[in-house]
């Protein structure tokens, strides 16, 4: 199998995992991707054709993932908790390396101590994607989320740097603590400084490009995507840590990019979407590779005679216990120090004497049931994942110090895979028992609350985009969004399911247009243009779409096309003036809307119809009718006036869809609510294009 085919299969697997994740609840996305990888492995797919250079693997997977993670980190919260985060990201990683290294070497002396330290360094980083997905299913406090997200960002860098030093000692066979410490400090602080300098230079370049009037979104987004690769490769070439340079560049991104304006806002929306897809694909590829690697690693080690199968699983469980145990003890210490600091501050603020403060501090216990439970939960909330496996894949195939194949490479990868799987399973199934979602079903916002939140966010985004040229148009559109919020609050929005009445209104409109075509009161081109719009509107409202519905759509479309072609061929004025055709469209639209209003009035007193649905829809149709008549008086003039407002409305709809997707991905709304909200926006988009 060629590498190209292999990569295509991996991409398809990630795509399938995305679809399954939308349907299956209660299982983290990484576990789904690992499962797909296992199935591919049993189908005969292997990683034998995926042997890339270790440096390339770091650049390809780790650099962009860390850069994206650093960009989206809450810098203020990270700085406020810098001491705790640094202790987790540096101190905990070092302790984990030492504990795993010495324990593994003691249990399996055939593994060099440097190789055991390398495994410990690879198991230091936590998986940011898994941590983010866990927050949707458990009740994490803000303080806890900040600690976990900050740890997952910085410990990636410390783990990678430590791994690189361990591999250097392994391949050369020599190690000097003094020289290693000096090299570590140069690499560490040099990488941070170099990343800041490169970020400033890139920001300067972007500002100069904008000064030249180049506001092309594609250019700026592509530059952002290429930034982590350029920063990593340049830093490594200079001799400092490329990983830390990438993290520093990502953290300083928001400080060096403070420009505002409509084009900047549009670019940020596109950039956010691109990075979300890119990070999901890269993480997905690594987890699918993990799933493919697991069966082959297990079978290879299963047939290994030098070590028994029971010992293999024993080592995996021991290393997993060390990882979780060390993390638990570390969080117990953080909790103890934090409780002492709070008590000390409270005593001092209340005017307590130094002796009273010391007495209170001595009364604080090292471990309490609540602190132990929270510490264990936070320990489980830091599973290993993409970064760990990416690092392990960079293990050398041979050693300079001992010529020949590095025989323990597959063994170490197997241990890493086993620990990743154990920690992911515990995080997915054991953590919710320790930190259950206190909101339960209330975690989902109601349709009303979600709609209002999306509309408010859209108003804020439009306000940030307005300029002197589009201020009047933007304010007009913002007023329309405020009206929509008021209608929803008053209960006249689309909160109840009035789709049956809307479908019936579209049937009335279609009935009028068909009669106008048959009676030759309008040209076939105009008539069938209206019918296509009505059919699209009906498709958006209809939700029960089975095979019969699909065949019905095909049959109706074929009938419409056939009649349209027949009428058009018989019409001698097909190439008439576009202005006249537009006038005719407006006239037909106004007449059909008047026909709909007439039918709605007749059903106000009908007990078979809900009065609030009829009156609400009548208000909307009458509003559309007034707009159509106003535009029909002077199409040319009004089109020029409405042009900017129409552009702002289009942008507003895109912003709405973006916020709906963000709410769905963050677990604020369920799939049904998101689908319903998207359909409403699509309907308004369709109506807008018809009115332009």
Determine the average pLDDT of the residues in 308-320. 87
Q: Could you please report the per-residue DSSP string of 499-543?
A: HHHHHHHHHHHHHHHHHHHHTTSS-HHHHHHHHHHHHHHHHHH--
Q: Could you please report the per-residue DSSP string of 242-285?
A: HHHHHHHHHHTHHHH----SHHHHHHHHHHHHHHHHHHHHHHHH
Phi and psi angles of residue 502, each rounded to the nearest 5 degrees, phi first: -65, -40
What is the pLDDT at residue 400? 60
What is the pLDDT at residue 357? 66
Q: 480 pLDDT exceeds 50?
A: yes
* pLDDT tens per residue across span 29-76: 788 888 898 898 888 877 665 555 556 767 887 788 888 878 877 777
Q: Can you tell me the distance from the alpha carbon of 181 to that of 177, in angstroms, rounded to the nearest whole number?
A: 6
Tell me the C-alpha to C-alpha distance, in Å, between residue 75 and each of 126, 171, 204: 19, 38, 21
Q: How confident is the model at residue 318 (pLDDT cuts 50, 70, 90)?
A: very high
Position with higher pLDDT, 478 vs 309: 478
Half-sphere exposure in the Cβ direction for 90 (13 Å, CA): 10
Residue with tokens 């190209």: 4
Report the percent of the chain where pLDDT is more than 90. 7
Q: Which residues of 97-121 are buried (b: 16+ CB within 10 A; e: fewer)?
A: bebbbebbbeebeebbbbbbbbbbb
What is the pLDDT at residue 320? 94
Determine the average pLDDT of the residues in 347-361. 69
Q: Can you tell me the distance from the alpha carbon of 179 to that of 186, in angstroms, rounded to the nearest whole number?
A: 11
What is the pLDDT at residue 621? 80
Q: How far apart are the first and last CA of the chain?
A: 52
What is the pLDDT at residue 74? 73
Q: Is 215 buried (19+), middle (13-18) or exposed (0-12) by CB count in 10 A?
A: middle
Q: Can you tell me the distance from the alpha carbon of 493 to that of 283, in angstroms, rounded to the nearest whole number?
A: 40
Q: Can you tell me the distance from the alpha carbon of 75 to that of 71, in angstroms, rounded to the nearest whole number?
A: 9
* pLDDT tens per residue across span 566-608: 555 555 444 444 556 677 778 888 888 888 888 888 887 777 8
CB 294 within 8 A of CB 500: no
What is the pLDDT at residue 431? 80
Contacts of 97 (CB under 8 A, 6+ apart): 117, 120, 121, 124, 162, 166
Q: Domains in the chain, ordered, with CATH? A: 3-8+27-435 (1.20.1530.20), 449-691 (no CATH)
Sign of CA dihedral 156, 159, 164, 167: negative
Helix (H) or strand (E) holding 330: helix 309-349
What is the pLDDT at residue 273? 76
Q: What is the CA radius of gyration of the chain?
A: 31
Phi and psi angles of residue 583, each rounded to the nearest 5 degrees, phi first: -60, -40
Q: 412 pLDDT exceeds 50?
A: yes
CB 37 within 8 A of CB 20: no
Q: 491 pLDDT exceeds 70?
A: no
Q: How confident is the model at residue 154 (pLDDT cuts 50, 70, 90)?
A: confident
Residue with tokens 């070590």: 307
Entry pTM:
0.63
Determine the average pLDDT of the residues in 606-632. 74
Angle at 379 between CA 33 and CA 113, to 5 degrees: 85
What is the pLDDT at residue 546? 47
Q: How confident is the model at residue 439 (pLDDT cuts 50, 70, 90)?
A: very low
Tell me the C-alpha to C-alpha distance, in Å, between residue 354 and each of 63, 341, 344, 360, 603: 50, 14, 10, 10, 80
Position with higher pLDDT, 182 vs 430: 430
- Partnered with residue 398 across adjacent β-strands are 405
- Find the length of the chain: 692
């Amino acid at each position: 199998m060629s590498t190209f085919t292999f990569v295509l299969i991996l991409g398809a697997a990630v795509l399938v995992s995305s679809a399954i994740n939308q349907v299956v609840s209660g299982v983290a996305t990484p576990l789904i991707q690992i499962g797909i990888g296992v199935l591919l492995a049993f189908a005969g797919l292997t990683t034998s054709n995926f042997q890339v250079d270790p440096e390339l693997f770091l650049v390809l997977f780790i650099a962009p993932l860390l850069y994206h993670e650093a960009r989206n980190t809450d810098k203020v919260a990270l700085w406020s908790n810098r001491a705790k985060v640094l202790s987790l990201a540096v101190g905990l990683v070092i302790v984990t390396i030492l504990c795993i290294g010495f324990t593994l070497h003691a249990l399996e002396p055939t593994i060099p101590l440097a190789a055991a330290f390398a495994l410990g360094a690879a198991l230091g980083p936590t998986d940011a994607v898994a941590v983010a997905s866990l927050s949707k299913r458990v009740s994490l406090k803000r303080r806890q989320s900040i600690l976990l997200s900050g740890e997952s960002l910085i410990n990636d860098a410390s783990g990678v740097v430590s791994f690189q030093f361990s591999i250097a000692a392994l391949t050369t066979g020599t190690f000097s603590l003094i020289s290693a410490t000096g090299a570590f400090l140069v690499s560490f602080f040099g990488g941070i400084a170099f990343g800041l300098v490169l970020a400033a230079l890139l920001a300067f370049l972007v500002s100069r490009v904008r000064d030249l009037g180049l506001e092309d979104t594609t250019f700026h987004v592509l530059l952002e995507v290429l930034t982590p690769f350029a920063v990593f490769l340049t830093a490594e070439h200079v001799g400092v840590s490329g990983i830390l340079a990438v993290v520093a560049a990502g953290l300083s991104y928001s400080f060096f990019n403070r420009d505002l304006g409509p084009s900047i806002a549009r670019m940020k929306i596109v950039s956010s979407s691109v990075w979300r897809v890119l990070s999901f694909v890269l993480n997905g590829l690594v987890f699918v590779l993990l799933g493919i690697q697991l069966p082959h690693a297990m079978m290879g080690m299963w047939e290994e005679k030098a070590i028994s199968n029971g010992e293999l699983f024993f080592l995996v469980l021991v290393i997993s216990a060390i990882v979780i145990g060390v993390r638990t003890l570390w969080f117990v210490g953080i909790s103890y120090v934090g409780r002492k600091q709070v008590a000390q501050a409270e005593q001092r603020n209340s005017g307590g004497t130094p002796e009273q403060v010391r007495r209170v501090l001595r009364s604080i216990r090292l471990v309490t049931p609540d602190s132990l439970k929270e510490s264990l939960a936070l320990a489980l909330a830091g599973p290993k994942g993409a970064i760990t496996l990416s690092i392990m894949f960079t293990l050398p195939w041979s050693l300079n110090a001992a010529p020949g194949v590095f025989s323990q490479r597959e063994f170490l990868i197997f241990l890493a895979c086993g620990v990743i799987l154990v920690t992911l399973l515990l995080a997915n199934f054991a953590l919710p028992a320790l930190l259950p979602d206190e909101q339960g079903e209330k975690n989902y916002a109601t349709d009303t609350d979600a709609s209002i939140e999306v509309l408010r966010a859209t108003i804020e985004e439009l306000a940030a985009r307005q300029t002197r040229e589009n201020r009047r148009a933007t304010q007009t559109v913002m007023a329309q969004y405020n009206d929509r919020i008021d209608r929803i609050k008053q209960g006249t929005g689309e909160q109840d399911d009035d789709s049956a009445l809307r479908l019936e209104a579209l049937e009335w409109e279609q009935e009028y247009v068909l009669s106008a075509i048959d009676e030759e009161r309008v040209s076939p081109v105009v008539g069938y243009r209206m019918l296509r719009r009505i059919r699209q509107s009906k498709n958006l409202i209809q939700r029960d779409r089975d095979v019969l519905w699909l065949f019905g759509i095909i049959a109706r479309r074929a009938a419409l096309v056939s009649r349209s072609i027949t009428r058009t061929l018989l019409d001698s004025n097909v190439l008439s003036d576009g202005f006249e055709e537009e006038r005719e469209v407006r006239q037909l639209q106004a007449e059909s809307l008047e026909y709909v209003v007439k039918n709605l009035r007749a059903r106000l007193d009908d007990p078979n119809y809900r009065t609030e649905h009829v009156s609400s829809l009548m208000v909307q149709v009458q509003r559309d009718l007034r707009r159509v008549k106003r535009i029909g008086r002077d199409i040319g003039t009004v089109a020029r006036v409405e042009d900017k407002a129409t552009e702002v409305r289009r942008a507003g709809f895109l912003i709405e869809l973006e916020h709906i997707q963000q709410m769905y991905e963050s677990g604020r709304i369920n799939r049904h609510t998101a689908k319903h909200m998207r359909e409403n926006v699509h309907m308004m988009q369709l109506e807008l294009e018809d009115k332009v």
